[in-house]
Amino acid sequence: MRRDPVLLGRRQVLRGLGVGALLGVVTPAGLRAALGTATDAGASGGRFLTAGELDTLRAVTAHLLPGPSDDPDGGALEAGSAEAIDALLGAFTFDPPLVHAGGPFSNRAGATHDDMADFVPLDPIAELGWRIRLEGSQGRPERSFAGDVVGLQQLYRDGLARLAGFAAASPADRDAMLRAPETIDFASLVLSDALDVTYGPPEYGGNRGLVGWTTTGWPGDVQPRGFTAREVRELDGTPPTALDRDAARAALTRYVLGITLVDPPAG
Amino acid sequence: MSRASVVIVGSGAGGSVAAWELTRTGHDVLVLEKGRNLLPGIGTAAGIRHIPFANDEVKAGRAFENQDVVLEPRTARTQADAASDVARSFVGDVNTLPTTVGGGTVHWDAKVPRFWRQDFHGRSLYGPIDGANVADWPLSYEELARFYDVVERRLGVQGDVRAMPETTLAQAPRRRQFAMPPNPPMLAGTRLAAGAATLGYHAYPFPMAVNSRRLHGRPRCNSCGFCSGYGCPILARGSAAASFLHPALRAGARLRPRACVQRVELSANGRRAVGVSYLDEHMRERHVRADVVILAASAIETARLALLSASTAHPNGLGNRSGQLGRNVMFHLFTLGIALFADEPHAWRGPSTTFTIDDFVGPDSSAGARATGLPYLKGGICEVGGGLTLLEEADLYTVVPGTWGTMLKDAMRTSPLRRHLAGLSMVGEDLPQLANVVDLDPTIRDVYGLPVPRITHTSHPFEIAASHYFGPRLGAICAAAPGAIAAGWLPVGALAEATGGFGSPYAGPASTAHILGTARMGRDAETSVVDRWGRMHELDNVYVADGSVFVSSGGFNPTLTIMALSLRMARHLAGRIG
């Protein structure tokens, strides 16, 4: 189970900052068209971000999850990740808000209708939580019960402002900009959000062409078809991705911090 | 009293079972649920339909059914913090459970092992442990067995008695075969089960409330893989909502979602509850009268509500003259084993895991165990053959700061820790301690304006030692699995403890939905909060029907036992008030 990423680290003191005016409300059915327009237009702004901010965010996400020509497979740019993050920041410009995709099925595994594209309405209490998360407490008493909260919109606005010039910088300079002490927390935030929309269901606006799933061998949502008993019990016939002992040990050592290795028998 | 009015606070495992039994026996039941209703059609003739849950990793991380910690944060600190008067050292997600109609079983793993005979007599059988508050339960396995039977029948449980170890059947005897045969065995589990067998351990099909054939009008599981932590899109899992609350509502019980109970209201002499007050979805205060109040909000929230209900007659919290309310809070401490294979055992297909191992439940009082300085050690059952989903894998790689770019893309493509991984996790028993306590945070409030629960918790050396004692065996199983090319073990709970507790980078992987203790059951009103039936010692008509009443945590997933205890309480109550 994934844990909610909004914890204490994102609760910072708000200093009288305003919130960008909401754009016109559109239905989720118009999401794809809206996002496509934003991407294709290039110079136009997004649901929340300005055109300049969106350009910077595209460059940042493309650096974090690169595509051609830096990587053989499509990455964040091809997935439309920046546009999808912008759609989350502007979630309340959609009706219902673009927060929770619906269910039980998409139309990718045997169903005829994409239920996931029908987003779930928020009730007043849930909406309050998401307004705080996105817009911040803004000094409003009804949003400040647990202290002041800086919303994701402001975190993105401030973080992208600190990265002005990022899109024009060299790859080496880009990396240094993201690793700078004053930027690393924002880079981590963008990475977390970019992973969600690059590798999550496309209904959230990213993972275009299922690039996040086709390049990782991930089946994505499989209901209502599911897997057969044979598919559960047995190996697939396709050749596996390459992994030898050394690479396996290296992966455990690098990514599973604190692990104690136990050697399998040789042979 | 021929038809009592009963208010139940919480619609999860304990509350739904109580609602079912009390409605069935003719009482007027109102269930108040703090969360919203995400199960359209529940309680109607058409049944639950248009389920909004899906194979959706993003939604699972966006406080859909889960408690929204922006609205309802919790705070935490260690015992050392408390000794230094540190008010809190963490604010955020402290082992939260789904806050929605149906509670935690909306997205549970549905693994339903029974507790063992020995779990109910820990103090008598094995003696005290320094620094822990080990005690016997005021009931035995034999008293609970028939309630296990009833709950299992309603949930619909799969398994195979013939494959269960003799020790397990001796400790948790069963009268009959399971209602359904096991799901197709997951390949990853089969590999680890074979590894276990080479070392003399015995893996067997995990009893679980998942349909392997159509039952109770619900379809069979199609092994989609989005099980633990995800609402079932096809309702193949038994649950509090589908198996108990829905029929209770059909029989006349009433359900009020978005009803946050803020106080139990008492008679003038403080001996009886007369009802509760709650805030509705518009934050309007409401009052409802009742002959009986049942608290079933889960161990942390029930303790909090009882503390919020302090009054002149109960100055330290409802039913807390003993000072025991909130104490002994227990969380299971997990230890992981990991195996990597050259091929791809697709551990993401199936209902999380399909095998379990009981060999580390203990107690182990061998010389090796006693070398830790403790008289014995206990671990718990192992969930065998689980894996990671795509976003879980991505999260794991990016734990290492600065992991992005082609390095991250390569890792996602090659996927050593998803495509090639199979794991097992041991559900480690957590000993009760008086100093592990839930109380009210002195400053921080939730969206309802109520003090949030503050959890003070430090693991006892017992569970830390057990994790390090059994962990190498988990690693050995993984290494012995046919085809394994790398293996290891990770004391993830112990690492979280050593690196900041709930603020640790390990807190996410170590988090648990097994929340127990806080309103201990016992015969002695000086050392417990509720009696052997779940009634608060100091009140005539307030009962507790969730994990709060547990005296020990056992090494087992606790929900089946929560349900069986709730049913036992409700039958007793129905006889008393009927």
In angstroms, the CA A129 to CA B73 distance is 11
Phi/psi for B428 (5° steps) reads -80, 130
pLDDT (0 to 100) of residue B444 = 96
In angstroms, the CA B479 to CA B341 distance is 10
Strand-strand pairing, B273-279 and B285-289: antiparallel
Closest CA in chain A for residue B441: A146
pLDDT (0 to 100) of residue A37 = 43
- DSSP letters, B434-491, are TTSEEEEEEEEE-TTSPEEEEEE----HHHHHHHHHHHHHHHHHHHHSTTEEEEEEE-
Q: Are B127 and B375 in contact (CB under 8 A)?
A: yes
Q: For the residues B158-175, what does the mean pLDDT come to? A: 97
In angstroms, the CA B354 to CA B350 distance is 8
Tell which residue, B481, B557, B563, has the closest CA to residue B206.
B557
pLDDT (0 to 100) of residue A237 = 87
Q: Are B3 and B289 in contact (CB under 8 A)?
A: no
Nearest CB to B398 within list A191, A221, A233:
A191
What count of other Cβ atoms lies within 10 Å of the Cβ of residue B399?
Answer: 15
Q: How far apart are the first and last CA of chain A?
A: 36
Q: Are B359 and B379 in contact (CB under 8 A)?
A: no
Q: Would the CB atoms of A200 and B57 count as touching at under 8 Å?
A: yes
Closest CA in chain B for residue A125: B281
Q: Are A48 and B387 in contact (CB under 8 A)?
A: no
pLDDT tens sequence across B277-289: 999 999 999 999 9
Q: Is A168 left (phi over 0), alpha (psi -120 to 50) or beta?
A: alpha
pLDDT (0 to 100) of residue B508 = 77
Q: Are B239 and B109 in contact (CB under 8 A)?
A: no
Q: Which residues of A touch B186 (CB under 8 A)?
A: 232-233
- Range in A37-51, B139-153, B391-405, B473-487 the model is least confident about: A37-51
Q: Are B330 and B516 in contact (CB under 8 A)?
A: yes
- Range in A31-40, B45-54, B367-376 the model is least confident about: A31-40
pLDDT tens sequence across B341-368: 999 999 999 999 999 999 999 999 999 9
pLDDT (0 to 100) of residue A8 = 25
Token readout for A56 is: 């910077």
In angstroms, the CA B443 to CA B77 distance is 14
Residue with tokens 């790689």: B397
Name the pLDDT band for B30 (thresholds 50, 70, 90): very high
In angstroms, the CA B179 to CA B150 distance is 12
Tell which residue, A223, A231, A265, has the closest CA to residue B345.
A231
Q: B545: exposed, middle or buried (C-beta count within 10 Å: 0-12, 13-18, 19+)?
A: buried
Mutation pick from B57, B187, B191, B395 vs chain A, by most beta carbons of A within 10 Å, is: B57
Q: Would the CB atoms of B490 and A256 count as touching at under 8 Å?
A: yes
pLDDT tens sequence across B199-257: 999 999 999 999 999 999 999 999 999 999 999 999 999 999 999 999 999 999 999 99
Phi/psi for B440 (5° steps) reads -100, 130
Token readout for B192 is: 């680890």
The string over B275-300, giving b where at least 16 C-beta atoms fall within 10 Å of a residue's C-beta and e elsewhere, is: bbebbeeeeeeeebebbbbbbbbbbb
Query: What's the gap in Å between the CA of A171 and the closest CA on chain B?
Result: 11
In angstroms, the CA A208 to CA A221 distance is 15
Q: Are A9 and B73 in contact (CB under 8 A)?
A: no
pLDDT (0 to 100) of residue A41 = 39
Strand-strand pairing, B28-32 and B355-357: unpaired
In angstroms, the CA A82 to CA A54 distance is 7
Q: What is the 3-state secondary structure (H, E, C) of B62-105?
A: CCCCECCCCCCCEEEECHHHHHCCCCCCEEECCCCCECECCHHH
In angstroms, the CA B274 to CA B265 distance is 6
Which residues fall within 8 angstroms of residue B458, CB to CB, at 6 or more apart? B78, B79, B80, B433, B435, B436, B497, B501
Tell which residue, B351, B315, B294, B275, has the closest CA to residue B110.
B351
Nearest CB to B508 within list A3, A71, A255:
A3
Nearest CB to A252 within list B282, B402, B486:
B486
Tell me how far the alpha carbon of residue B554 is from its chain's centroid. 12
Return the SS3 of B240. helix
Q: Is B385 left (phi over 0), alpha (psi -120 to 50) or beta?
A: left
Closest CA in chain A for residue B51: A104
**How are strands ordered across the β-sheet holding B90-92?**
B90-92, B74-77, B451-456, B437-445
Q: Would the CB atoms of A71 and B406 count as touching at under 8 Å?
A: yes
Q: For the residues B172-186, what does the mean pLDDT come to? A: 97
Q: B512: exposed, middle or buried (C-beta count within 10 Å: 0-12, 13-18, 19+)?
A: middle
Phi/psi for B260 (5° steps) reads -90, 105
Token readout for B246 is: 């829905």
In angstroms, the CA A67 to CA A73 distance is 6
- DSSP letters, B159-192, are --GGGS-HHHHHHS--SS--SBPPPPPPHHHHHH
Q: Is B414 on the interface with A (CB under 8 A)?
A: yes
pLDDT tens sequence across B418-460: 999 999 999 999 999 999 999 999 999 999 999 999 999 999 9
How many angstroms separate the Cα of B435 from the Cα of each of B79, B81, B133, B302?
7, 11, 10, 18
**Interchain CB contacts (distance < 8 Å): A and B:** 328
Helices and strands in chain A: count of H runs, count of E runs: 11, 1
Tell me how far the alpha carbon of residue B41 is from its chain's centroid. 26
Mean pLDDT of the residues in chain B: 96
Where chain A has pLDDT below 70, the residues are 1-43, 267
Name the pLDDT band for B2 (thresholds 50, 70, 90): low
Query: What's the gap in Å between the CA of B404 and the closest CA on chain A?
Result: 5
The structure's pTM equals: 0.94
pLDDT tens sequence across B12-23: 999 999 999 999
What count of other Cβ atoms lies within 10 Å of the Cβ of residue A168?
Answer: 10
Mutation pick from A81, A85, A100, A238 vs chain B, by most beta carbons of B within 10 Å, is: A100
pLDDT (0 to 100) of residue B498 = 86
Query: What's the gap in Å between the CA of B429 and the closest CA on chain A?
Result: 21
Q: Are A91 and A34 in contact (CB under 8 A)?
A: no
Identity at B361, one-letter amino acid code: V
Q: Is B577's pLDDT higher than 90?
A: no
Q: Would the CB atoms of B492 and A3 count as touching at under 8 Å?
A: no
Q: Is B578's pLDDT higher than 70?
A: no
Q: Is A203 left (phi over 0), alpha (psi -120 to 50) or beta?
A: alpha
Q: Would the CB atoms of B390 and A2 count as touching at under 8 Å?
A: no
In angstroms, the CA B291 to CA B128 distance is 40
Q: Would the CB atoms of A3 and B506 count as touching at under 8 Å?
A: no
